Amino acid sequence: SQTIHQWPATLVQPVGSPLSLECTVEGTSNPNLYWYRQAAGRGLQLLFYSVGIGQISSEVPQNLSASRPQDRQFILSSKKLLLSDSGFYLCAWSLGHPGNQPQHFGDGTRLSIL
């Protein structure tokens, strides 16, 4: 069966520091991969998605970036964190087709910027 791992679970970082969140998927190949951010008490906002190695689509302009160095690895990064980057970050995967495939989420990373 497929599993998704996301780490770390919790992170406290100072303003201006770099960021690297990692997500890996097991048990499937060539998944679609996603990064979402959730502000407290709010819905999910799609940040990036990827349909293959090296293919990244950005949905929201910001100081974050994403990379997919391997088929089942998705990384969210920042060179200099802002206070507004605080939130709950979720990685997800889905099969590319058919369209009724749900997205499956990792356990998330709670990021606090001080």
Partner 1 sequence: AQKITQTQPGMFVQEKEAVTLDCTYDTSDPSYGLFWYKQPSSGEMIFLIYQGSYDQQNATEGRYSLNFQKARKSANLVISASQLGDSAMYFCAMRTSGSARQLTFGSGTQLTVLP
Binding site for partner 1 (CB under 8 A): 32, 41-44, 46, 49, 51, 59, 88, 90, 92, 94, 96, 99-100, 102-108, 110
Residue where the block lists tokens 């964190």: 81
Q: In the 3-class helix/strand/coil scheme, how is 12-24 assigned residue by residue?
A: EECCCCCEEEEEE
Which residue, 43 or 61, has its beta carbon nearer to partner 1? 43
Which CB, 15 or 101, lies closer to partner 1? 101
CA separation for the pair 57, 51 (Å, rounded): 9
The least distance separating partner 1 from the CB of residue 99, rounded to whole angstroms, comes to: 6
CA 106 to mean position of chain CA atoms: 9
Q: Provide the 10 A C-beta neighbour count for residue 6.
A: 22
Structural Rg of the chain based on CA atoms:
14
Residue number with CB closer to partner 1 (53 or 110): 110
Give least dist CB 9 to partner 1, A. 9
Identify which of residues 51 and 82 has a Cβ nearer to partner 1 in the complex: 51
Phi, psi of 96 (to 5 degrees): -70, -40
For residue 68, the minimal CB distance to partner 1 (Å) is: 14
Rounded least distance, CB 55 to partner 1, Å: 11
